[in-house]
Structures are given as C-alpha cells and as structure tokens.
Structure 1
C-alpha cells in the first residue's frame, strides 16, 4: 500500500514538474514554444515593391521564426536605354538559415518556355508549376513564383526575370502559399520594371 502511494506521489510530482517546465518555456519563448515574429512593412526589402503588401504575404508564407533579417542588394540598376544589365536580390533569413530569395535580372531567352525550363525548372519540377496572368509568362507552385517581364521594346527583346524561391515552407500550404508567392512576384516585378527604366509595357497587374 505504501509502495503504491509512493508511486502516485512520484508520478504527480513528475507531472507537476513537466507543467512548470512547459509554462516556463512558453513564457520565455523557448523551444518548442517560440513565438513567430511579425514582418513589418518597414523591415521589408525595398526591391519587393509595395512593402505593406509584401509584408502581409511574407507573414503567411514564411516559416515560424522568432526573428527575420532582410538583405537587400542592388547589384546593378539600369541607367538608360543603352544599358542592358539589371540585377537586384532580396534574401530573407531566420533561424540561422536562408528562408527565401527574390531576384530580378535582365535576361533574354529564345522563348518563354525556355525561360521556364532553364530558370524556374532549376528550383522546382516544371510539372508542379501552374501559369498565372502576368508579364509575357508567369508560373507558380507552392514554393516558387516567377514572371518574365517585357522590358526593352526596341532591338533585342530583353526581359526581366523575376523569381521568388521559398526555400523553407511556412504555415501556408498549397494554393494559399502559391497566392502569397504570386503576390510577392508581382510586387517585385512592378518595382523592377520601374527601376530598370523599361519602355515596354510590363503586363503586370497589381495582383
């Protein structure tokens, strides 16, 4: 009888200890109860365009991390019509790893199908991609979205290749994740088209 009572006391004590530890972990944001940081518009890369819209999409798309860091790089901005280069990138980091990249660069492919295969096909299987309405060609999955944006209208038909690559999935899945990445791609494409001084219509809606 004494042995049984002792076991019950020990079991109750262990359960109480677990509750205390779990409560402390939650209170101090320790694993597995870290709170997901909220991305604010002011923290978002300028190259993502509409920062408020981008922040809303990122808060859905990004995996839960206690903090996020943004690295915005403008490697080359097109200065005039004779300039045939443009390149920018935005990297989103969290939890010691790169979570997402958004790149835009001047490109020229034989056709939009080749662009999909050689650019987006390196990131995801082309069988997972669905087309959406933007640029001369736009495709997306739940981990990538890309737009082939008209830029130079005279001479060589150069485009802007805008690619969003979600490297670590977040809470949003399937169609929701795809919509968020499309929003980011459209916003980044609109920014790139303006900054690259493109004269051809972008064909990118607000989205």
Structure 2
C-alpha cells in the first residue's frame, strides 16, 4: 500500500473535490453566473423590446450561456383590426422553451370566463394569483401573468366587440423571489400588451 504524507493529503483532497464539482456542473448543463448571457433589445422579440421588458427578462430567466428568440412572422401588422390577429414570442435555450408571450384577438366575454380559461393550468388551483391594475382585468402569479384589454367595439368587426388576451408563461425561472418574478412577468405582459394593441390596430383605449 502506498502511503501519502499528511502534508500532501489536504491539497490532493481539494483537487479531487474541485474536479468533481467541475464535472457535476458540466454534466448537469448548469451555467454559472459568470457565463450567463445578457439579453439585449436587439435580440428580443418585437413585443418585448422595452427597457422594462429587457430588465425583466434578464432577471426572470434562468442562467443560460445563450438565449434565442422566435416570433410569429410579421403578418402581425394588419391594415385594420381583424379577428384573426395573433402574436407570439418564444424564448429558448437549446431546445427548451423558457418563456412565452402570446397575444390574440377574441370576442369580448365576461372577465371571469377569460380568467378561468387562462389560469386553469396554474398549479394548486391558482394559488398566489393576484390582480393588478391594467385593462379590463390583469392577473399574475410567479409563473404566469395575463391581461385582458379592450380592442374594438361592436360594429367594427363581424361578430361583436373584441378584446385582446395577452399571456406570459414562465416555464423555467431564475433564482429570484416569487415577488420579483411576479413583478417581472407583469412588466413583460404590459410590454407585450402595448405592442399588440398598437400592431393589431385597436380603436378602443387599452386602459393600461
């Protein structure tokens, strides 16, 4: 048996421990804060380019060395309001969707009906979902935020009055508190809602 002098044991143990730690980080695919990518407005979707949205993305997203942004083709700019309007933005890392922001035109319906549909998949029956002042109704949790805003009155589009439903879903979160995440998701939702309201040619005030 080979004996190791005591004076060398501590450095060897530290080296082995450090090697194991590096191996764990590498195998698990976790990025450290030092190599985290920074989201810039030039890289983000059209609906999430405001300063407030970029700040929120950089805080709410989990650590990754690279992010990519995909959005619907810009058929998102009709000449006038249409009931087929929609706009989507997806934030990815590798093949994983980290966050989505979606807006779509829909026939005006009672806000309670809209709320039940939008938040039906939130865990624990909608725990931690609370309101915020925006549009007809604004709601947020640390994993999802949404706002229901007026768009066109009856008579402008066949079928009645129309509203915009704007929803931001966070699939993977950064290392921040629930309160900060909720705040960030509201910022992203309002950015996406303002963009959708303008690009869809709404004629009613958004009330945001």
TM-score range, shorter chain: 0.7 to 0.9
Q: Which of structures 1 and 2 has the larger relative contact order (alpha carbons within 8 angstroms, sep 6+)? A: 2
* C-alpha contact (below 8 Å) 1:152/1:199 kept by paired residues: yes
What is the match of residue 54 of structure 1? 53
**Alpha-carbon distance, 1:110 to partner:** 2.7
What is the match of residue 169 of structure 2? 165
Q: Distance in 2 between matches of 1:153 and 1:129?
A: 29
**Alpha-carbon distance, 1:53 to partner:** 2.0
What is the match of residue 21 of structure 1? 19
C-alpha spacing 1:101/1:15, structure 2 compared with 1 (3 Å) = same
Q: Tell me the number of residue pairs that the alignment of Structure 1 and Structure 2 aligns.
A: 197
**Alpha-carbon distance, 1:154 to partner:** 2.8
What stretches of structure 1 move > 4 A for 4+ residues in a row?
A: 29-33
What is the match of residue 118 of structure 1? 117
Q: Distance in 1 between matches of 2:170 and 2:99?
A: 5
Q: Distance in 1 between matches of 2:15 and 2:135?
A: 59
* 1:140 has 2:140 as partner: yes
Q: CA RMSD in A?
A: 2.7
C-alpha spacing 1:174/1:20, structure 2 compared with 1 (3 Å) = closer
What is the match of residue 38 of structure 1? 38
Gapped regions of structure 2 (runs ≥ 5): none
What is the match of residue 65 of structure 2? 66
Q: Distance in 1 between matches of 2:94 and 2:146?
A: 26
> 1:8-28 CA distances to partner (integer Å, 9 max, x unpaired)?
3563353242366379x59xx
SS at match of 1:188: helix
* 1:149 has 2:153 as partner: no
Q: Distance in 2 between matches of 1:70 and 1:7?
A: 55
Q: 2:201 aligns with which of 194, 197, 202?
A: 197
C-alpha spacing 1:19/1:127, structure 2 compared with 1 (3 Å) = closer
> 1:59-111 CA distances to partner (integer Å, 9 max, x unpaired)?
11001111111111147433314x22211100001143110000000012530
* 1:185 has 2:180 as partner: no
C-alpha spacing 1:33/1:141, structure 2 compared with 1 (3 Å) = closer
> 1:4-49 CA distances to partner (integer Å, 9 max, x unpaired)?
x6263563353242366379x59xx956553221111111101225
